[in-house]
Amino acid sequence: MNKKQIVVGVAIVAIMGYLYSLPVKGLIKAGAARDNAKSAPPQAAAKAASNVTVEMVSEPAKTAIGAALAAKIADLEGQLKNAQGDAEKLSIDKKLAASWDDVNQPAPAAFYYQAVARKDNSFTAWLNSGSRFNDAFKITQDTALTPAFITGAVEGFTNALKLKPQSLDAKTGLGVAYVNGGASPMQGIALLREVVAQDPDNVSANLNLGLFSMKSGQFDKAVQRFKTVIAHNPGFEPYFYLAETYKQLGQKPEAIAAYEKCKEMMPDPVFGQRIDQYIKELKK
């Protein structure tokens, strides 16, 4: 499975969660995010992160993917337990990371990429680890897991930048992780702005700056960010958030048009029914 397919899979889960009125962290109020961050001191957050293991996130992921696919992964897990030597363990860690990627389960994939990176210290492994931890944070509803996802993302992108200081992907990912963590949101925003200063059309940085603008109530800025994303990489995710932003601004015709475009790009009947409900409400 390539990177684009993984990102699309995560976006689908995140948006479907929103449609079912589950909290999406990119859309919560800024004050609430700060309050949540302040409620857990760094020592407590670090302890909470250390208590999360790959086994904890793998079990629910296996339930989600079904018995047949889970059996293949369980077989690799058995091989890892019986592996002899670092080289064999590294090889199986890589297979497990790729296998979890193939079924769009970023949380366990993140831990295995992290294990790979800690062994071979490669830029790609650190970047993949950080990216999957950010993806896991984006879609999880279990707040007990989020400290581990944030800590893992920061570790991954920080080490990736040590190897390639000019990597825009790593800077973007670290910026997102900093904002998600709540402890260094302005440092995170600064990193994202640094990315768009170098690459004004950067899709990931603009999408996340748009989401964070929504979170802080800066909807006019969010509109421009999402339009930039759509101009260079149109997809159902930026169209959905653009529609939500227009709705917040009271621009109903624009919101309806964006919702309809989003629906066209994601031909799922359940998704389409929810979008139709949103449009119906706007037309009243």
Range name among 46-50, 142-146, 239-243 with the lowest pLDDT average: 46-50
Range name among 35-39, 46-50, 78-82 with the lowest pLDDT average: 35-39
Q: In which band, very low, low, confident or very high, does the pLDDT at 183 lie, cut at 50, 70 and 90?
A: confident
Domain boundaries, the chain: 3-233
pLDDT mean across residues, the chain: 87
pLDDT in tens, 52-69: 999 999 999 999 999 999
Q: In which band, very low, low, confident or very high, does the pLDDT at 127 lie, cut at 50, 70 and 90?
A: very high
> How many contiguous H segments (helices) and E segments (strands) does the chain have?
16, 0
pLDDT of residue 182: 81
pLDDT in tens, 147-175: 999 999 999 999 999 999 999 999 999 99
Nearest to 112 by CA among 88, 135, 128, 124: 128
CB atoms within 10 A of CB 249: 14
CB atoms within 10 A of CB 158: 15
Alpha-carbon distances of 91 from 74, 97, 116, rounded to whole Å: 16, 10, 8
pLDDT of residue 269: 84
Residue 70 backbone zone (phi > 0: left; psi -120 to 50: alpha; other: beta)? alpha
Q: In which band, very low, low, confident or very high, does the pLDDT at 76 lie, cut at 50, 70 and 90?
A: very high
CATH of domain 3-233: 1.25.40.10
Owner of token pair 């996340």: 208
Q: What is the CA radius of gyration of the chain?
A: 19
SS3 170: helix
Question: Cα 68–70–73 angle (5° rounding)?
Answer: 120
